[in-house]
Amino acid sequence: MERVYNFAAGPACLPEEVLRRAASELVCYGNSGMSVMEMSHRSHDFEEIIDKAESDLRELMNIPDNYKVLFLQGGASLQFAMVPINLMAKFSRVHFINTGMWSKRAISEANKIGEANVVASSEDKTFSYIPKLKKEMFTKDADYVHMVSNNTIYGTRYTKIPDVNGLPLVSDMSSCILSEAVNVSDYALIFAGAQKNMGPSGVTTVIIREDMIGKEPDNTPTLLSYKTHAQHGSMYNTPPTYAIYILGLVLEWLKGKGGISAINKINQEKAKMLYDFLDESKLFKGTVRKEDRSLMNIPFITGNADIDKQFIEEAKKNGFVNIKGHRSVGGMRASIYNAFPPEGVKALVDFMKKFEANA
């Protein structure tokens, strides 16, 4: 069977080159005589794997020396709790920008630790835009500001970093990390579940400025403390070894493609191809305000639920899978992360043109 075009929001498609490399090393990695899945996380072979993954990530993102890189478990969802547990140190208050489901879940977790203050929200229009923000919204009586850089479900993204009045800025970059250049120094903490744009599910990357570590209460459970993981090089307990190995292969692949600036150019071209069609189509239309459109997740609708259903069914028959939109938006969603090939976007647009002509 031929591979399909997988538009899943996560776990998402991986580079085929990475899959083939992993397949060739599945039974025996290098000269170890065993699979990475069987390997001790304390072994020299795995230490080389995790150290290289960190080194390549630092190189790709130009991460400053005063930031720690942690490879954790629990997904971005655990970070919704870990961040306030560790960072709500002085005011027990955090400012949130509510731009979707993942913001709302983070707000819910933060409210269990302290006070989550929502300074702006786009919920009034089904999160189809990024709210306009002013520096004055971010009062100094908060420990940090939480944002979601790219909203997977709703297809919005920040095109510029908000002025948060000098407060530490925390960003959930799960669905956009490595897709475009960011200045890590603008953030106190960045976290991202790997399963969208970095690798398979099972590992979560945290990039944290060193001065943000060690603020947690003394009664914080050991594994919920960033200090624990920073002091032990992400290996206080057994890390998700195979997921980190695949993540490392993805980083190697990205370096081979020319790095983040090169992949961003491709991402821009892929997104433009689909958005240009949506803007011209008489049947399909995008759901997001143009200036806030994501490069990674593109939701669209026909305005007729029956036609949407028909399109999804026919798309699957033609090799375009996982294109159904989230229930809160409806319609369709094409997630076109770094690993998604440009020819897949072109094939989708061609299919949509034929579907529209026959509708």
Give catalytic residues, as residue numbers.
102, 172, 196
Tokens 């034929």 found at? 354
Q: How far apart are CA 165 and CA 149, in angstroms?
A: 18
Find, among 178, 224, 200, 229, the residue nearest to 69 by Cα.
229
Find, among 166, 214, 184, the residue nearest to 67 by Cα.
184
Q: How far apart are CA 232 and CA 125, in angstroms?
A: 45
Which of left, alpha, beta for 232 (phi over 0: left; psi -120 to 50: alpha)? Answer: alpha
My answer on whether omega of the bond before 11 falls inside 30° of 0, hence cis, is yes
Q: Are strands 144-148 and 67-72 parallel, antiparallel or unpaired?
A: unpaired
Beta strands (DSSP E) in 185-264 are 189-193, 204-209
> 184 and 138 in contact (C-beta within 8 Å)?
no
- State the maximum Cα–Cα separation within the chain, in Å, rounded to a whole number: 65
> 264 and 150 in contact (C-beta within 8 Å)?
no
> 73 and 203 in contact (C-beta within 8 Å)?
yes
Tokens in use for 113?
Answer: 């630790």
What is the four-CA torsion angle of 194, 330, 110, 186, rounded to 10 degrees?
50
Q: Which run of H or E residues covers position 309?
A: helix 305-317
